[in-house]
Amino acid sequence: SIASADMDLNQLEAFLTAQTKKQGGITSDQAAVIAKFWKNHRTKIHESLINQSRWDNVLKNMNWRVDLKSQSRHIDQINTPVAIVELELGKNGQ
8 Å CB contact between 3 and 45: yes
Give the pLDDT confidence score for residue 68 in this predicted structure.
83
Helix 28-53 vs helix 9-21: crossing angle, to nearest 10: 130
Supply the pTM of this predicted model: 0.55
Task: Residue 49: give the domain boundaries.
Answer: 9-53
Instruction: With respect to residue 35, please indicate whether it lies within any of the assigned structural domains.
Output: yes
Encode pLDDT of 30-75 as tens digits. 999 999 999 999 999 988 888 787 777 788 899 999 988 777 787 7
Same domain membership, residue 71 and residue 42: no
Mean pLDDT for the stretch of residues 10-35: 93
Pick the closest to residue 4 from 41, 37, 45 (CA basis): 45
- Phi then psi for residue 49, to 5 deg, are -65, -40
Alpha-carbon distances of 81 from 64, 76, 77, 86, rounded to whole Å:
13, 12, 9, 17
In this prediction, residue 94 has a pLDDT band, given cuts at 50, 70 and 90, of: low
Instruction: With respect to residue 74, please indicate whether it lies within any of the assigned structural domains.
Output: yes
In this prediction, residue 93 has a pLDDT band, given cuts at 50, 70 and 90, of: low
